[in-house]
Amino acid sequence: MEGLFLTDRGQVRSHNEDSGGIYYNDYGQFLAVIADGMGGHRAGDVASQMATSQLQEKWQNSNQLFSPEETEEWLHLVISQINTSIYEHAQLHEECRGMGTTIEVAICMQDFVTIGHIGDSRSYLLNEEGFKQIAEDHSLVNALVQSGQISKDEAHDHPRRNVVLKALGTEESVVPDVKTISVEKGNELLICTDGLTDKVTDDELVEVIQTKPEMNESGQALIDLANDRGGEDNISLIIIQYGQQAPSPEAGDMS
């Protein structure tokens, strides 16, 4: 498999509160993560950097994982530990009080991927069955959609579409959504923050990925599209292609 991480400050924000990267453990196993520091909260960039750097360290020191059950258990434990670390840091530092971050983690094995999800960053799988979002947003507008109060089209333009109902580090404990799905050669994963999905529809995401098979080209095209439409938020994405030789750890290690 092959992966690419890209991030952009956008057109409006003074700094980038997103963080992410692609990391390998000692067994050559592949983990991708994106974290979006919560806009409107102090020190969102601190929270997102803590999340990705601690996840990187724990992954690089992890035991080899073999099964979906082992992988899911590892993700539950590590996300809980990182949540505690961020929460305690915020309690000890007044300037960080109330900070939080989304987190989207993909542990990519040859025949399955395990996703850990908190917040409104997203993972999508593109395979022969189509292009599907893997986990539900932990957001106010998604809760309204699920309850039938608004439509998906109304959610896209809702004035409170960026209100997150669950985040990493804002509460003493948190339970992530963790899910394992099967993957095959030729499948692609897209992991991204809402800086992309607020500006680009699902149909447009898959169109760009399918018409520009080179990851660098499709990834940059998606960021450019979000920026052309205002770029009010930071924009980050990871594209992972299955069935190709993995790059070296040095090439994929970014944060």
Both tokens of residue 27?
């067994």
What are the pLDDT digits (tens) for 109-148? 999 999 999 999 999 999 999 999 999 888 777 667 677 7
What are the pLDDT digits (tens) for 5-22? 999 999 998 889 999 999
Strands of the sheet with 30-36, listed across from one edge: 18-24, 30-36, 103-108, 112-118, 177-182
Structure confidence at residue 159 (pLDDT): 59
Looking at CATH, the fold of the domain delimited by 2-252 is given as Phosphatase 2c; domain 1 (3.60.40)
Of how many residues is the chain composed? 255
* Statement: residue 251 has pLDDT above 80: no
What are the pLDDT digits (tens) for 182-208? 999 999 999 999 999 999 999 999 999
Q: What angle do CA 47, 48, 53 make, to 5 degrees?
A: 100
How far apart CA 156 and CA 186 sit, in angstroms, is 30
- Look up residue 189 and give its amino acid: L
User: How is the chain split into domains, by residue range?
Assistant: 2-252
Question: Per DSSP, what are the bridge partners of residue 117?
Answer: 104, 177
* Statement: residue 68 has pLDDT above 50: yes
**pTM listed for this prediction:** 0.90
Share of the chain above pLDDT 70, in %: 88
Q: What are phi and psi of 89, to 5 degrees?
A: -60, -40
Q: What are phi and psi of 239, to 5 degrees?
A: -115, 130
